[in-house]
Amino acid sequence: MLTAVLKLIASGIEFFLGIPFVGGAFIFANAWGPLLFMFLFYLGILLLSINYGYAKWGAIIGMVISILAIVPFLGMVLHWVAFFTLLLDGIYNLKQARFEGEL
């Protein structure tokens, strides 16, 4: 359940980072620090997903996108991809946790 919540939180952050000009301005103002933070956040989610046996694809895609999002306009589109991917992965993990009786 923890991985599902973290993936949904990451999805919300990616939504913010994908807002045209606003997300880019935030990333530029912080010298690409948010991308490093998100990479490390996804690494933690990946380790938890491996530990608890949940889907890993959302965290892996998030890590790759955090690296590739250094390119300004490509980054905006990639943040949209990450938003939808993590949203679906988080919802899938919630359903999996519910099926396994963790909720």
| Domain count of the fold of the chain | 1
Question: Using one digit for the tens of pLDDT, what is the confidence trace for 54-102?
Answer: 889 999 999 999 999 999 899 999 999 999 999 999 999 888 878 777 6
Parent domain of 45: 2-99
Q: Are 54 and 3 in contact (CB under 8 A)?
A: yes
Environment class of 28 (CB within 10 Å of its CB; exposed 0-12, middle 13-18, buried 19+):
exposed
Question: Using one digit for the tens of pLDDT, what is the confidence trace for 28-37?
Answer: 999 999 999 9
Instruction: Indicate the pTM of the whole model.
Output: 0.89
